Amino acid sequence: MNGSSLHYRIFLLLLVAVSVAFGWVLWPFYGAIFWGAILAIIFAPVHRRIAAKLGKRRNLAALASLLLVLLVVIVPVTFITGSLVQEGANLYQRVKSGNLNFGAYFQQVLDALPPSVHSLLSRFDIADISSLQDKLTAGAMQGSQYLATQAFNIGQDTFQFLISFGIMLYLLFFLLRDGSLLSARLRGAIPLSDTHKMHLLRKFTTVIRATVKGNIAVAAAQGALGGMIFYILGIQGPVLWGVVMAFLSLLPAIGAGLIWAPVAIYFLVTGAIWQGVTLILYGVLVIGMVDNVLRPLLVGKDTKLPDYVVLISTLGGMALFGLNGFVIGPLIAALFIACWDLFATDFVDPDSRAP
């Protein structure tokens, strides 16, 4: 081993060590850094248009783009989060006081079922209705208590939240202002050919924009439509249920139907026929069709991962990284597929490929 090779390996070891150490230092604020980078990628095309109109005033252009992000993203999210936490706390208090009893609603549904269904339940040993009622009530208590606890934690961690929020805005300003220069430096540091680098970076930005812009837009539309019909039908907590439907719509093959379908069934079996029929028609024709109309327009059919990959990677990402995982999971999955596609097409001997 010659001296230059030894020096190169020592430098690589030093490079990995300082990179890991730097990541460790930044980890407490990874959420703020992550969303600052995500918002910079999302709003980069808009910022380029603003910068072109303002000429060489880069700081002013970045500040204008930052204000746009605040108006379009931050203010609505803050308002919805506050309403969600308030409704969650109210729901917890109503369940705790007994004013809202999901077990009683479940009993109403059972009482409305025909005798043949009751005999079928008994045949499959599903006769212990009281235990099911207790489980439903306990689940409602746990869910509403979680939201109430989050409200308390937000109040307790206000200082930490403000620091993270400030870091995100501060970083976003510089990423918008110097994003093109940083991107060029990053491309130059990646030890791959220009074709491979452009392919991977294009895949990276495409998945980021598709996941955040497309999926969140679809989720927001479905949640808003679901909350609106719940408000019209007089269902309590429309903001809470709308947010839950928006959250579930991020998961393919699950969707907002997990919320509105049981409510529609409850309406039908308890005699509220027109409410049940209205909710079913609205859920299928309006909420359900949003995904089929908006997602191809915002995401594009050629940029989507298979639904089963999105589902598994989203669930896995959220299990590891919390709410940030709905972006991180599909992003890792997309880069995984892109890297293996490059390996299979460019690095494997063509004569050894399977037909």
pLDDT for 110? 60
- What is the SS3 assignment for 281? helix
DSSP 145-160: HHHHHHHHHHHHTHHH
pLDDT for 1? 54
Query: Measuring CA to CA, which residue among 281, 243, 257, 225 is closest to residue 143?
Result: 243
pLDDT for residue 111 is more than 70 = no
Q: Where are the domains of the chain?
A: 27-118+125-148+159-180, 192-347
- What is the SS3 assignment for 256? coil
| Integer Cα distance of 133 and 118 in angstroms | 16
The arithmetic mean of pLDDT across residues 158-185, rounded, is 84
Query: Measuring CA to CA, which residue among 136, 149, 154 is closest to residue 95?
Result: 136
pLDDT for 191? 76
pTM: predicted TM-score of the whole model, two decimal places = 0.69
Question: Which residue reads 């204000």 in tokens?
Answer: 67
| Integer Cα distance of 7 and 47 in angstroms | 43
Are 305 and 334 contacting, i.e. CB atoms less than 8 angstroms apart?
yes
The arithmetic mean of pLDDT across residues 271-277, rounded, is 85
What band does 355 get if pLDDT is binned at 50, 70 and 90? very low
pLDDT for residue 126 is more than 60 = no
Query: Measuring CA to CA, which residue among 32, 26, 34 is closest to residue 211?
Result: 34
Q: What Rg value do the Cα atoms of the chain yield, rounded?
A: 25
Least confident of 112-116, 173-177, 234-238, 333-337: 112-116
What band does 319 get if pLDDT is binned at 50, 70 and 90? confident
